[in-house]
Structure 1
């Protein structure tokens, strides 16, 4: 596009003034209006880029244009136009004469800005944020590079690329799966780090980080690795600004520390409140502070490092591999904004077979033979692959497993060519490929992928390395998905012994392995062993992580499940209710884990013969599931299935049959005719027909279930045998005793053969 120098016969590109991870920014002339503008162009993606990643970037670019074009405020960059020209998306903005705050710090040789400038910037940004928040827009990536100070002193907020519209969360959540959109670690709020609910107060926290940096010369948690930075945001109180720079006014020190409160409730209520505090402070008056606006300073909490033994709990899985990003005091060239990559490579690395070359060559083709010199991949390629790897992680975190898998497969192939098959980053991508396969029902493919990763990591890192054990643990998990629980047990037991030897019995990863082993024991029918192990893990997690920690609650949930299988339904009910109560308080009443535990409370009530209570519980749960996830969501349908079952237990069979038929039809449409949940619903339809004396119709439904289960699971699978038994019972009710007896004999023979094979 740069060759034509003219877009849509109107915008003539003149000079390249910036280049970032998504595209370029040009100084241009609007030929129609005779004014100079800035044109932001999304880089065209070639065929070597996977299409899912490209599509998401383009959709996000369009969203940035729509969001920014709707904003009209002196403190927000004005967007004049946007569109597509010859396959390239572009955004036309006002041309700003000034420097962003990151560049101002660099111009000042990393020294903090003058006090008056800092306070003025704070007041202007608060005013602009107040406006954007009133429009229902949260920026979510506020940092020095996104705040411009113009030559006349005006301050403007730029780049709404990952902004969230409050009324359109679902669309934006999907778009922000792109890794470079996660925000920059030095300026992320604790709730953004933990994956919690984000509102306007997250922007206030990020602004506090920006103000801390321009006032003192360094961000509040100025560490080189992402783990330390993120844990700092989450667990460590920042030092007062005046301990770094005594000349700062006391009111400003207080205001910034209030912005940096760990919970949104402790921060100023909104940007308008913040602006008033700054204005009052500048006049020398004492503002009235609400109790929640105070921050009690405490001694810094030790920052946990990867592999450390002490410190706060683990960060979310999406933080794996993050670099600390670009902070304002970096050493980049002024005027060229570098891309923010939220995932990094492991650094220089070679195998025992290949040596790292010195040339900047890249390309495609087969890998060098053993002993040959491997060309050094360009930093640009490595950075692109890092961002795309992170994009895949975030797509998975948002539940878009198919898209995540496509991204990881493409990155794995390119990393294998550029770095080698056993490079840690190649294996990391392969690991994520396996993870997405296991989450999309392709367990056999996932098993092969995880096995390959485990072997590669064992060769390069050793059998007891944490990454090797993680891959082997996933091998066990997938074996369990495939119903190969005895093999899974052997792998889990070996991994557990290695984890206890290398990490200790109370390490979080050791406890996670013990939890999985307990789960697998229950699938082997060793219910007492499973119960004891799950109970012990729950106690250990409660002691180490706290009784309300999500990991503790997951294991207590498993304790409840095993109690139910042991027939100890009163204890199971009590356990599930306790989990519901804590999850409601910690995660919220509408969190999926809370709703899942409420479902199990209903199961327990039904098993105890308290179907009236169970029915009422499921009615409310169906309403909540429908409101949160929609009427066709699998979990909504599961709650409706429970409602139908309890209608039947109360002998309300006409209602039960109607409910079962509706659920079955919806499951068939959403999940497919052969899905196990669809088959469960079809069987429930047959049960209802039988109780209403409509045995001929029931027989048809039972046979459909039996045929599908036999085809998919095998004739001797317990579920297939149970279906054949249902079919025989139905024949018996129809007076077709000879056929029934023959089918009973076939089922008995298959069960005997299965028992011999198992022994």
Structure 2
């Protein structure tokens, strides 16, 4: 598909507006009528190669055209024409000048929209849905990206690509029988998730999710894992919107919570009723409260979502990449009626200490054993202070989602201090803020501080919630991660093993949190040099995750990558290459070609090719990867520079040392500017410069570079560090090549003495 292509001899494509699951959307000119239109095109195969799936997509496209063309309402995008030209299915629509709600939120820098705008948008969408539902059409994929607000303020619903006619059951059966998931996790109704009957009330639930997001700045279940989002929609009452944005009027909160009722019968009976409720609320400012379902009984055995959800990813929500996972039931407005477990009996937990939906992972409390008396109650803190702290907590989470870790850490640190003063230092909400603070410290590179914070937090949670409570184990697991980041792998291994045993007792061997801990343990085994144990453990976790979560779930693919890493470290690079290649393909399907995890798997594929001596193939992959990383992440992103470093290494392996030197020099300069002169990646690039200089016979220049590397490492790592000693060995080699054998011999002897003194590992 390209610019100036003529569709059906009438519609000339001018420029690409966007891409989606059904194809491409182009700005085009109707040559017959002289007007600009939008043309949606579906290529014969698009990104899919399975003929049966292609037939399904074609049928959906034709159905979209017929359904949309039959609709005529100011709140629904007008369809002018549709057909097929040269094997390309096309749909001609009115060209909308405006922004979809996703873009509106992005333009607003992630902040929610003004209340008047939310109410106006809600009223217009409800009116449009009232009309389409009367025509027997259910949209089934209502989300911010499918709702456009034009320049004159008109709100229009777009893309009936997975709509179904309510009376046409056979069509639904044909299209859902392929196993292709219909809907977007952040906005799916519980009945969609359960695979049950879907009618107009499902659209109302999705509208509730949309209104929740534009009113608060985040979806009702703001989680990164698609599975957790689906479970949240199905089982967990959403936090009231005014917990996240206190200034929202009560009647708007009631409208939104009414739409988000779990049972369809507890929502408004139709969009027409919703229109009336919005009008009444705007006129009087008060509405009768909705019926909000009670939380599920903790004694009930939860049923998993249907199998077709297992490969789902979160997709793109209105704020782009996520804001970070929160507990299923954030307790931002706790009343302080909680009981801490005395430290001398930390294993005894009161059932109320666990989240309402978590169950009692520590087992039943023996009624014959005395329950410790609760501590003296504090005076109930002012509700407005709690609300303000909850809002600031959300702001910290938002900053973390944007990668602004230093700011996020300071925000959470301040909230933790105020919650400690208001609620007490061991209150669960205070501890939650301390957890977020430590998490941000790790991501900001302040790992030593994070380790102290996690250690203190784990001890506090054990005293309050019990040693085997999931929150306590989460803090201990993050403590182990921090230890690993600091190179203290043996201590990390011990802690991971203890946490794993506790998780197996409390949650079972196949719980996702248990499997995540086993995965971390596998990584640590590899860092300890126990490669066979690491490979075996990672393979067991990958198999278990495939069984529990699905073979293409992101967590399963992460474990398969760890298997590949262990294979490579053991010298089995052919097997590592095969696994990395398969993971890269699966991630492209599930996460998208430009997702960071997909790009990472492609990098490892290229690295494996280089290790196998297939430098020409590796060079080709690195070149393609550099183009994609530059486009997605920018030319100076550390991962872009890492790919460029790989290209330089393989240029050298092919004997192209002048090109290798130029690439290494450029990468070194960029790393020095962006990461700093003492950063390990900068020093690796400087060494690559020195290696290339040596191969070109420029040994005096190489010696200067090696000495700079050694001096920097001695200052940052210490004079006896193995990397510092390796640099001195490189210096000695240069001295030899320059004919300065006496100096080289003396340097070799000094390095040998230090290594003998340090032990067989040189540490």
Indicate the TM-score class for this superposition, using the shorter chain for normalisation: 0.5 to 0.7
1:657-668 equivalences in 2 (<5 Å): 657-668=661-672
**Stretches of structure 2 lacking an aligned partner (at least 5 in a row):** 1-70, 80-91, 148-154, 184-190, 197-224, 242-252, 259-280, 290-322, 343-373
Query: Could you say what secondary structure the match of 1:137 adopts?
Result: strand
Length-normalised TM-score, structure 2: 0.61
CA drift at 1:708 = 1.5
CA drift at 1:409 = 1.2
What is residue 137 of structure 2 aligned with on the other side? 255
The worse-fitting range, judged by mean Cα deviation, of 626-635 and 396-405 is 396-405
What is residue 323 of structure 1 aligned with on the other side? 239
What is residue 135 of structure 1 aligned with on the other side? 97
What is residue 11 of structure 2 aligned with on the other side? none
1:590-669 equivalences in 2 (<5 Å): 590-669=594-673
Tell me the distance in 2 between the aligned counterparts of 1:658 and 1:647.
Answer: 10
For residue 687 of structure 1, the aligned residue among 680, 687, 691 is 691
Tell me the distance in 1 between the aligned counterparts of 2:564 and 2:492.
Answer: 22
Tell me the distance in 1 between the aligned counterparts of 2:384 and 2:647.
Answer: 56
For residue 347 of structure 1, the aligned residue among 305, 325, 334 is 334
Tell me the distance in 2 between the aligned counterparts of 1:565 and 1:484.
Answer: 20
Q: Does 1:300 align with 2:194?
A: yes
Q: Cα RMSD between the aligned structures?
A: 4.6
Q: 1:701 to 1:207 in 2, by over 3 A?
A: farther
For residue 313 of structure 1, the aligned residue among 202, 216, 227 is 227
Tell me the distance in 1 between the aligned counterparts of 2:382 and 2:467.
Answer: 32
CA distances 1:438-481 after superposition (whole Å, capped 9, x unpaired):
01111100001111110110000000000000000000000001
Query: Could you say what secondary structure the match of 2:334 adopts?
Result: coil
Q: 1:138 to 1:209 in 2, by over 3 A?
A: closer
CA distances 1:124-176 after superposition (whole Å, capped 9, x unpaired):
54469999992351224xxxxxxxxxxxxxxxxxxx9x5335xxxxxx6xx22
Query: Could you say what secondary structure the match of 2:666 adopts?
Result: helix
1:303-702 equivalences in 2 (<5 Å): 313-315=227-229, 323-325=239-241, 326-328=253-255, 335=285, 344-345=331-332, 347-349=334-336, 350=338, 374-702=378-706
CA drift at 1:716 = 3.1
Tell me the distance in 2 between the aligned counterparts of 1:436 and 1:127.
Answer: 44
CA distances 1:288-327 after superposition (whole Å, capped 9, x unpaired):
999979979879359xxxxxxxx98334999999725334
Q: 1:423 to 1:652 in 2, by over 3 A?
A: same
Q: 1:654 to 1:464 in 2, by over 3 A?
A: same
CA drift at 1:519 = 0.5
CA distances 1:473-514 after superposition (whole Å, capped 9, x unpaired):
000000001111111111111001101111111110000000
CA contact (8 A) 1:132 1:138 kept: no
Tell me the distance in 1 between the aligned counterparts of 2:608 and 2:684.
Answer: 19
Tell me the distance in 2 between the aligned counterparts of 1:517 and 1:253.
Answer: 56
Q: 1:712 to 1:455 in 2, by over 3 A?
A: same
Length-normalised TM-score, structure 1: 0.61
Query: Could you say what secondary structure the match of 1:696 adopts?
Result: helix
Tell me the distance in 2 between the aligned counterparts of 1:598 and 1:207.
Answer: 47
**Stretches of structure 1 lacking an aligned partner (at least 5 in a row):** 1-120, 141-159, 166-171, 188-202, 216-248, 303-310, 355-369
CA contact (8 A) 1:344 1:383 kept: no
Q: 1:390 to 1:638 in 2, by over 3 A?
A: same
Tell me the distance in 1 between the aligned counterparts of 2:551 and 2:448.
Answer: 36
CA drift at 1:122 = 11
| Number of residue pairs aligned between Structure 1 and Structure 2 | 523
CA contact (8 A) 1:611 1:649 kept: yes
Tell me the distance in 1 between the aligned counterparts of 2:156 and 2:509.
Answer: 47
Tell me the distance in 1 between the aligned counterparts of 2:567 and 2:540.
Answer: 14
